[in-house]
Chain A
């Protein structure tokens, strides 16, 4: 294990810490995981003082070799998606670094490669969204016909999501549009097939968009003492749920006003 001997290495270590924390946060890792990782890596390089304060929208890291000269970085995280493959890779690299199986240069190279690489196949995302919608509809007592309509909804949603990914305010716009288009497709399908169960189709198709996991994680964060993280994630979940409900509610209102013909 190489220890920190000169300034160049401190800067390299800082860069590694920054990248690791950024990758973990951007891809759906928890804040305490990022803090843990920072502390563990810094400790393994013999850093006396290492503090990482991580909140879901960014992080601060300070390291100091002897308590006198300290290095600090602040980073803002704007993009937040869930890509557990990247999160796991960052975890693996940091573990190898602390165990001394990688040196700083190698770790830096791997992390830089990881952060720029686009993982995940668009088609797999499409299939995942479509069929998970379908099976949730079946789970909520939908029929085979409902299954296919729900699969169609899931496909449309994922296409919308892929198209909108570059836009700002992505979560809110996505949930508004998602709620709107799901209820639109579901109600339109009842015109073609009267025996479709509206409830099962909408509940199933909306599942991939729902922030249930965010809500559960928010409460879990708060219980562990990560109060800011809990608040941020909880607010995020509520905003998404409001977006979905307003989108769906708006359309269903139109539908009723139009006497079921809109």
Chain B
């Protein structure tokens, strides 16, 4: 488990170099990448549902990214788009196409459906978590404001 954390974090770190992110955010994105991947592994194993792993892993990454973005005053996209790289099902997309090229349509279909549902799950997790986070932040802001006026 620790080696998985380390490898995922390192992969995210060097990916951050590839995307030329602001230097200050690199260690944080690496950490988030590692945490997200480990959460994905643990949840996927415990619930024996990989999709739940994708969902929870991405949600954790998104929430932590929103918090980090708020603290460091950077765009959330920077953190999210790099930290989810170890989870992102790019390999599935490639394998789907490779199976099609090799005339192996059955495997292509099952890999393709798996890939699309993984990507869809992750997108859903990001969208829902962002929405919830914004909602809660706005709620807290409103409550604080009403306290002041009273």
Binding site for B on A (CB under 8 A): 28-30, 33, 82-88, 91, 119-120, 124-125, 127-132, 135-136, 138-139, 203, 206-208, 210-213, 215-217, 219-220, 223-224, 237-238, 241-242, 244-246, 248-250, 252
Contacts and interface: CB of A to CB of B under 8 A. Distances in A.
Given A84-B19, A87-B77, A245-B98, A215 B14 contact: no
Interface stretch (B43-51, B123-131, B134-142): B123-131
B7 A139 contact: yes
Contact of B94 (A28, A132, A139, A206): A206
B120 A219 contact: yes
B4 A139 contact: yes
Given A83-B19, A83-B20, A84-B19, A127 B14 contact: yes
A132 B91 CA distance: 14
B75 A249 contact: no
Nearest to B58: A216
A129 B4 CA distance: 19
B10 A135 contact: yes
Contact of B127 (A136, A224, A238, A248): A224
Interface string B64-91: 0000000000110110011011101111
Given A125-B18, A131-B10, A241-B94, 14 more contacts: A33-B77, A84-B21, A87-B77, A88-B74, A120-B20, A128-B15, A128-B16, A131-B14, A136-B86, A139-B8, A210-B93, A212-B119, A213-B84, A219-B123
Contacts of A208: 15, 18
Interface residues of B, number: 47
B110 interface: no
Contacts of B90: 207, 210-213, 215, 241
Q: Is the interface of A mostly helix, strand, loop or mixed?
A: helix
A245 B108 CA distance: 12
Interface string B107-133: 000000001000110111011000000
Contact of B77 (A84, A128, A206, A237): A84
A127 B17 contact: yes
B122 A135 contact: no
Nearest to A132: B14
Given A213-B81, A216-B123, A119 B89 contact: no
Contacts of A124: 17, 20
B123 A220 contact: yes
A158 B120 CA distance: 29
A36 B88 CA distance: 27
A131 B9 CA distance: 12
- 3 smallest A-B Cβ distances: which pairs? A212-B90, A210-B90, A128-B17
Given A212-B90, A220-B123, A249-B98, A139 B11 contact: yes
Contacts of A29: 77
A206 B97 CA distance: 14
Given A120-B20, A131-B14, A135-B10, A212 B77 contact: no
Contacts of A246: 97, 101
Contacts of B93: 210-212, 215, 237-238, 241
Contacts of A33: 75, 77
Contact of A216 (B20, B84, B100, B102): B84
B79 to A, nearest CB: 10
Nearest to B79: A84
A125 to B, nearest CB: 6
Nearest to B23: A85
Tell which of A86, A91, A135, A248 has the most Cβ of chain B within 10 Å.
Answer: A135
